[in-house]
Structure 1
Amino acid sequence: MRLLQNFTIRMVMLTILGLFCLLWSGVGLYSVHALSEVSEGNDIDRHLVRQMTVLSQGNDQYFRFVTRLSRAMDVKIGGGTPDFAPARQSLENMRQKLEEMKALSPGPMNPDISREVLSNWQALLEKGVVPQMQLAQQGSLTAWSEHASTVTPALSRAFGASAERFSHEAGAMLDNTRVMVDGKTYTIRILLITAVILGIAILIFTDRYLVAMMVKPLERIRQQFQRIAQGDLSQPIEALGRNCVGRLVPLLRAMQDSLREAVSTIRAGSDNIWRGATEISTGNNDLSSRTEEQAAALEETAASMEQLTATVKMNAEHARQASQLADAASLTAGKGGELVSDVVETMNGISASSQQIAEITTVINSIAFQTNILALNAAVEAARAGEQGRGFAVVAGEVRNLASRSAGAAKEIEALIGESVCRVAQGAQLVQETGATMDAILRGVTEVTTIMKQIASASEDQSKGISQVGVAITQMDSVTQQNAALVEQVSAAAAALERQTEDLQRSVQQFRLSASEPQQRVTAKAAPGVQRMASAPAQSTDEWVSF
């Protein structure tokens, strides 16, 4: 087995599998060839048996023909009616068997013997049996008897001799074929048993090889890994050859040496890390206290700025409300001016209507005067008419009375309209003066509105500026608080680093670097995680690493 240590497992396994495949391939090929020969021998055996069976059946049909024909001729000689049907059936069967024999010939048999059998059989059928049947049915008894005693027996003896030679030759061939089949079967059996034994031997060798080249070396490597896992780096590992498993040994040895160097370096540097972590923790504690003081001052400043911002916002809100009220007053004054203008126009319309009414009254007075004149003329004409015009005079008198009353009413209306026109003129004058006053008020309100808008805009800008200052101070306070939290986290991380350094020192002490060094069994405690006190700014999170 030691000679195989320098060969790869793949090469050895491929060689074993190649031998195994070569062995069974040879066995399989020879078995296929032998089975093919056995199959050919069985085919020859079946063919010869078939030929011998057909030959025997043909000979049997011949003897049946002779027997049945003899019986029929005995009946005919006795004076009865012979039945030639059985004899004809035997003759037909003999002819069919001859055709079957021709179809099977020559086969594996010697062609000369096969031709001789067929020739004698054909001669017996055509020259002996068929003429004998014809003579029995048509000819005289003497001719039939002579043919049956001389021609047919000679042909039958020749056919029997050739059939015997055929059977003897076929039997010899059957014996040879069966001997060959038995020999091949025995050879295949021996070959298969040998192949199975060799296969089992190959499997046993493969198992022993795998145990020696893989299982045991891997167990040694596992034990070495277990010693390394337990902290023992002092035990060397022996070489296991240059196969696939043996190539792991230099790598394992290099890993063990690297671990030994790394543990030595960690032991040397853990004290420096511990001292540095202690100094970092002390400095961070001082920085944390100063940062907390700065955060408190910024918090007070932020509170003051919030109060100032609230006051400025309130002033801006009041200025905005005053501006809105001034806008409303300006709109109301504008609407009042428009109403005064409408009143002036209405008073002017009333004055014009009064003038038109005065003119209509003048027309009515003129109509009444003319009616009075017409009534006077009618009275004069009625007086001239005498008795015929008395009724017309009465009517004219009534018309004069109505005209007088219309003239009086028109004078009264004219007087009232004149007085109304005077009052309307006075009202129009007052309304015009009121409109001028409303225009002055509107201009004043507009100026006040403009000033209030400017005040509100300035207050709003001031509020925005103070709000921005407050936001900046709030952000500074938030950043300071976050810095304080980060300082606390750094302090906690430094403390955790200090504890982890102590744990690391205890952990590396369990490694045994040399055979003379005692091994310490120390179980390192898991370092507690650092809990964040507040979320750090987005731009600062990438700079911190959890220890």
Structure 2
Amino acid sequence: MLSNITIKMRLIATMSVLGLLIAVLGIMSIISLKSANNSLNEVYSNQLASTQAIGESQIFLGRARFTMDRVMVHPDAADAKQTLARADQFMASSNKSWKVYLGLPQSAEEKRLSDDMDKKRSDYINNGLLIMSKALFEGNIAQADGFMMKGLTPLYRTMDQAAETLTQFQVSSAAKMYADSQVSYNRQVTMAVIGIVVGALLTILSSILLLRAIFRPLDQALRHFGAISDGNLANDIVITRHDEMGALLAGLQKMQERLSSTVRGVRDGSGAIATASNEIASGNLDLSSRTEQQASSLEETASSLEELTSTVKQNSDNARQANQLAVSASDVAVKGGTLVAQVIDTMGTISESSKKIADIIGVIDGIAFQTNILALNAAVEAARAGEQGRGFAVVATEVRNLAHRSASAAKDIKVLIEASVQNVGAGSALVSQTGTTMDEIVSSIRRVTDIMGEISAAGREQELGIGQINQAVAEMDTVTQQNAALVEEAAAASEAMQEQAAALAEMVSIFKLDANHSGPAAAKPALRKPGVAAASTALKRPAVRLAPARATAAPVAAAKPRPAKPAADNSGEWEEF
């Protein structure tokens, strides 16, 4: 029940109770002081004033009688009259003091006693002192002396007894008032002591409760803080309160949960980083191997292009030789006038072969143009070799296909040229027999010469295009070397990442988490899959060299590449070429 009350409310309640107790004690003290003040005022303004007034009245009466006694003893004194006058003044002062007393508040008993005293006092003054003063004023000393002994003294004694009774009443009243004041004082002191004791007990009790409400959960929070600072995040923080300290423990519990989640995430992340870095390292190794294989393939491609250049050059030489043979055939055709018809037929055949050659040359020209574009694409893709040469693989494949087509076209040109040479030989033989048709044969031979010139020019253009392709392949080789260097840097970075992940895992290993959450498994290096080795083996096989131009062997087409398996599950898709 008390644990649900906030410390603020406890402090307010404690201060309120203590304030109420202080207020009660203050009110009681004020009441006691007021009562004491009233008693003191009663004593000062009533009892003391009454006693003083009665005493002054009695003193003045005593002085008046003493003055009369002096005149009676010295009746012949010069100031006897003046002394009697002072006796009258003393009596007047006594009456004045007595009137002051009668004007003060009186109780019923005091009123009765004061009335009796007033009667006896008046009797003493009127029937005693005034008669004696008259006798002395008249000089009747003997009468005055006799009256003093017989009449004045009994009146004085009666008045004195009444005054004594009234004085005793005043004293007893003062004593009673003092006793009442003492009782009130003792009661107020007792109540004050009780209030002080109750206040002290309440203060001690509230202090104990406040200390228990503050320092016990504070000690608990400090213990949890110490455990957290030691790396122990597995302690259960039990919250049994709903006050400020309960809110503090709730915040500490939330902080511990979030810190545990953070440490757990860092620990899992470090394991994932280690695993990923291992896979990256493995992928870098595979990439390095493939880059080396790619460089080897580029070298083989360059060699093949050199052979293709040699073949094209040889075709151009053959075309020039064919042109020379056509000129020779023109000279020989002068002797073949007798076989004009056959020469015409032969020249028709040559014309058809020349058309085929023109078509083939057109194909070769188109191939050279496409080869130039592909070489440009290869240069662009080489500049974008961020995906480990994926685009370059496609460009290289197209280059191989175009090389294959170029080789086939070169072979066809060769066959046609050989056929043209045979036909031209036959035509020359016929021209030697047909002298009458030499003009037509010469004209046809010139046409053949022009065609062979075009073939030669096309061969030179093809040679230039292949040279550009060779330059592009050289640039690809340079980019491949740069990729190899980047792969080495990536391998070094992955190794540094592994070291950082290990250091991070070691740093967070000091934290002790809940048993329900197990730490991440140790990162294992990614294994190289068999597919990669197979692809590497396939890539290491040397490319088939192109046959020389004079050979009649069939063209060799480049083998189609097989895609390699990924080095690890997290690595990207790789494509071998």
Report the TM-score, using the length of structure 2 for normalisation.
Answer: 0.46
Report the TM-score, using the length of structure 1 for normalisation.
Answer: 0.48
Using CA pairs under 8 Å that are at least 6 residues apart, name the structure with larger relative contact order, 1 or 2.
2
